[in-house]
Structure formats: structure tokens, C-alpha cells
Amino acid sequence: WVLRVRYADGASPEWAAFALVSHPSAVDQRVDAVGPPKPLETCQDAHAKAQARCEGSRAEVWGLADRLGGAGVQRRSIDKKKSGDLPIKGGHVYRLATGLLVVLDVQNATSERHWSPTVATLRPIRRGQPALRVRAVAVRGGRIAPGEVGQVAVEVDLPSPGVAPPFRLELPEGSGGSV
């Protein structure tokens, strides 16, 4: 019989294999396995990786704190009736101290391919006003399957004092239209 077991610490190697040979006069109810001792460098490397993961999550928290800038978050709902050409199921606009975050529930109306917008433009509807600078475009889960509804987030700079809503969000690589 071959018995394969995982080490409790989950480190490398992850498992060990034993060949069990029975003998009529001997019965063992327990098998203890101890792996070889790990070199100091391996432990230090694992510790450094764990610290980097912790610091990375802390950096995200501080990034959010910086964007809030000590102010409250203002939120406004996006009505799907005012959504233009794209099949928008709803969404929200969040005003942070340093910019706007537009989060939309968008349906991928194509029946052939997954969709993941990478470019967006947010421009005032009133002519002659400049478009806002887009900082990031992201899709929850990486992409939206054909016929499915997914969330798209767009982060943009705050508009200048003279630039006023309403705005038009364009996702040109999307389902053939804009919001």
C-alpha cells in the first residue's frame, strides 16, 4: 500500500509518500512523519514574503485614506433610464476628495466574446468643456462573459470648478456604445 500525506506546515515539499508493508505479527496504529529541517534562508525568505503581503494590504488602506482626504464620501445613483446606448443595469458615482469613482453594472450584450474595457472617457455633456482625466478602468473579476452583467469601475480626476454635470462616460471598446 502507498500512503501519501501532506505536511501540516504547508511548506515545500508539500507531501510525502510511504510504502506500507504489512506483517501479520506487527500492527501500527500511527505513523509520524517529520520533514528535513529547513535552512535559515528558506525561513527568512518565507518571512519576507509574508511581510510584503501584509505591507501591500496596508498600502491599499493608506491609498484609500489619501483619496478620502479626511472628507466624507458623497454618493449619487445612476438611473438606468439615463444610460445612453450601453445596457446599464444601474450604478453609483462616488465623490472622493481627490476624484470621482463611477461604478456601473453593465451587461455584455455580445453573444460571442468576453468583454473587459481598458479605456474610458468622461466628458461633460455641455460643449466646449474638457474631458476629465481617467486614472483607472477596472472590471470586477477581470472580464464580463457574453450576456452576463458585471461591474465596471472608472476612477477620474475631480472636474475643474467651472465644469459641471451632467457627464457622459464613454467605454469605446464596450458593447457598441457609451453611457
Look at residue 63 and tell me whether its pLDDT is greater than 70: no
Closest CA to 144 of 179, 105, 178: 105
Q: For position 175, what pLDDT does the model report?
A: 38
Using 50, 70 and 90 to split pLDDT, how confident is the model at 178? Answer: very low
pTM of the model: 0.57
Look at residue 55 and tell me whether its pLDDT is greater than 70: no
Look at residue 60 and tell me whether its pLDDT is greater than 80: no
Per cent of the chain over pLDDT 70 is: 76
pLDDT digit string (tens) for 3-29?
A: 887 777 666 677 888 887 777 777 777
CA distances in angstroms from 152 to 17, 83, 100, 105, 179, listed in the order given: 47, 14, 14, 7, 12
